Chain A
Amino acid sequence: DQQVKQNSPSLSVQEGRISILNCDYTNSMFDYFLWYKKYPAEGPTFLISISSIKDKNEDGRFTVFLNKSAKHLSLHIVPSQPGDSAVYFCAASDTQGGSEKLVFGKGTKLTVNP
């Protein structure tokens, strides 16, 4: 039973345009959400996070939006750059659950074309 779902295995966008990566979750106990970027042969790199008490968090070109009622979050990258090409993982955590367990989606492969 997948608690975090990234339904788009891949996404292709043109350089300079907006990339929107989506993520859905089913566990209502999740209260902290993170996005990681992963290049081949490297570990995931932390990008941005959001607590359930917020609905938006921005960091430079990256913005994460959280819709708790829909159990949906999205990552916006504006403007997209070729160096953003990687696999993006959405992860969720129940911070009151006593451990730092992160539950990951399967990832979305983003390709930014020059």
Chain B
Amino acid sequence: DAGVTQSPTHLIKTRGQHVTLRCSPISGHKSVSWYQQVLGQGPQFIFQYYEKEERGRGNFPDRFSARQFPNYSSELNVNALLLGDSALYLCASSRFQGFEQFFGPGTRLTVL
């Protein structure tokens, strides 16, 4: 079975631009979570969606938004990019609430 997939792999943007990151969960998984990982730190929780509803939001500004589609894939949107948004963005999926989360390879975002 295919694991969690994310696109694109790498992305370079300039300050003030907008970015959309995409994630496809493991088949059968209904929960998708997004994390941001900056160099030298552990992943930091941004959002969780389960059955297309937002179930959790981390301590990120309103410039960050997300949604989940009927096929359980998800998008993370970031507006008005700042240099500090440069990071690895990870998507994770799980079968039900509370089960182990399985991560995709991430999207490396660089903001210049």
Contacts and interface: CB of A to CB of B under 8 A. Distances in A.
A95 B103 CA distance: 19
Contacts of A42: 105-106
B98 A32 contact: yes
Interface stretch (B12-20, B41-49, B61-69): B41-49
Contacts of B43: 44, 89, 102, 104
Interface string B34-55: 0100001111110010100001
Interface in A32-66: 32, 34, 36, 41-46, 49
A44 B33 CA distance: 13
12 contacts: A4-B42, A43-B105, A44-B103, A91-B42, A99-B55, A100-B55, A100-B94, A101-B48, A102-B33, A102-B45, A104-B35, A104-B43
Contact of A101 (B40, B45, B105): B45
A100 B42 contact: no
A34 B98 CA distance: 11
Interface residues of A, number: 26
B50 to A, nearest CB: 8
Interface string B65-107: 0000000000000000000000000101010011011111110
A105 B42 contact: yes
Nearest to B41: A106
B24 interface: no
B107 to A, nearest CB: 10
B4 interface: yes
A106 B48 contact: no
A78 interface: no
Nearest to A41: B105
B23 to A, nearest CB: 11
